[in-house]
Amino acid sequence: MAPLHFPEQKVMTYCVGMCVDDGLVFLSDTRTNAGVDHVSAARKMAVFEQPGERVLVLLAAGNLALTQAVTHLLAAPADPSKPTLYNAANMAEAARIVGDAVREVHKRDALSLAEFSVDFNCSFILGGQIGTQAPRLFMIYAAGNFVESTRVSPYFQIGESKYGKPIIDRVITPTTPLDEVSKCALISMDSTLRSNLSVGLPLDLLVYEKDSLRVTRFASLDNDSEYFQMIHRTWGERLRQIFGEIPNPSWTDSADVPRRPREQASTVPRLVIGDLPCPEAPAQTLAQTDRGATQQ
């Protein structure tokens, strides 16, 4: 197997799609890189729209050559007799069409990539509404298989998903209004941008209002977006403020704390080498009184 001779353009990316009672929200960044000295921008959102009949939105993460090959296949199918995203009968069939395109690209490219030790790395979020059916949201894997979102977990992330996951887990439910879902997606993106260089502006934000059957709200957010700048500034400030307001820990002599069921677990995990004297110095531990923990 040959070594990696040249860098691949990677969509490190952060994309999130959310499906709530009022509709769908899609947010993607545009950073691509093939190593830190080759940073560029590419859009990772593609919209398939027939106003009045259907809106489908596709977000992509992974190797840019692969994700673009999939999009090319979807936009110009090799076999025109097969169903396309513009005539799929329902969203599950649309997800199958995307999965089939991924498998076709795999058949064509995977072996050649493997010869250069490049993974077949791509994943997709597909959401939308067709006619009078309910809006639905799917995640499609590199193997072409896919899962649908549920009311228990009404969102999918692809790419650098971990930084921005805690805030989504804390605020999003199926009944959250669309504007709050959009705000949450942008805060989640802001936390990711702050902590990971492989994700970058501008952002594509598309908000689909249920039953509109057309793209009614779309924004490309760059450094000149007042709203995103306000979120960036305010969220950081308010986080530091509530951080400051939460009481600091207070420490007390271990002897003052009532013994607990798993007493052994609370001792300092000291390691002793050979015949060194075992140190027995008592350490302070966290105060367990209500007063100590909540007022200060």
Q: Give the Cα separation of 84 and 74 in Å (integer).
A: 7
Closer by beta carbon to a second copy, 112 or else 206 = 206
Note whether 237 and 88 are within 8 A (CB).
no
- Neighbouring C-beta atoms of residue 223, cutoff 10 Å: 9
Q: Using the rule CB under 8 A, is 14 a contact of a second copy?
A: no
Distance of CA 152 to the CA centre of its chain: 17
Q: Using the rule CB under 8 A, is 210 a contact of a second copy?
A: no
Closer by beta carbon to a second copy, 120 or else 218 = 218
Of residues 235, 172, 188, 173, the one with CA closest to residue 16: 188
Q: Give the Cα separation of 257 and 274 in Å (integer).
A: 32
Closer by beta carbon to a second copy, 112 or else 280 = 280
Query: Which of 74, 98, 118, 189 touches a second copy by CB under 8 A?
Result: 74
Q: Using the rule CB under 8 A, is 89 a contact of a second copy?
A: no
Closer by beta carbon to a second copy, 63 or else 71 = 71
Site string for a second copy, 235-254 (x = CB under 8 A): xx-xxxxxx-xxxxxxx---
Among left, alpha and beta (phi > 0; psi -120 to 50; other), residue 22 is alpha
Q: How far is the CB of 83 from a second copy (least distance, A)?
A: 11
Q: Count of residues for the chain?
A: 296
Tokens of 202: 């501008």
Query: Which of 166, 175, 197, 211 touches a second copy by CB under 8 A?
Result: 166
Q: Give the Cα separation of 1 and 119 in Å (integer).
A: 13
Q: Using the rule CB under 8 A, is 38 a contact of a second copy?
A: no
Pairing of strands 45-50, 54-63: antiparallel
Site string for a second copy, 252-291 (x = CB under 8 A): --------xxx--xxxxxxxxxx-x--x-x-xxxxxxxx-
Closer by beta carbon to a second copy, 5 or else 274 = 274
Q: How far is the CB of 264 from a second copy (least distance, A)?
A: 9
Of residues 86, 156, 164, 169, the one with CA closest to residue 127: 156
Query: Which of 162, 173, 189, 200 touches a second copy by CB under 8 A?
Result: 162
Site string for a second copy, 187-206 (x = CB under 8 A): x---xx-xxx-----x-xxx
Q: Using the rule CB under 8 A, is 182 a contact of a second copy?
A: yes
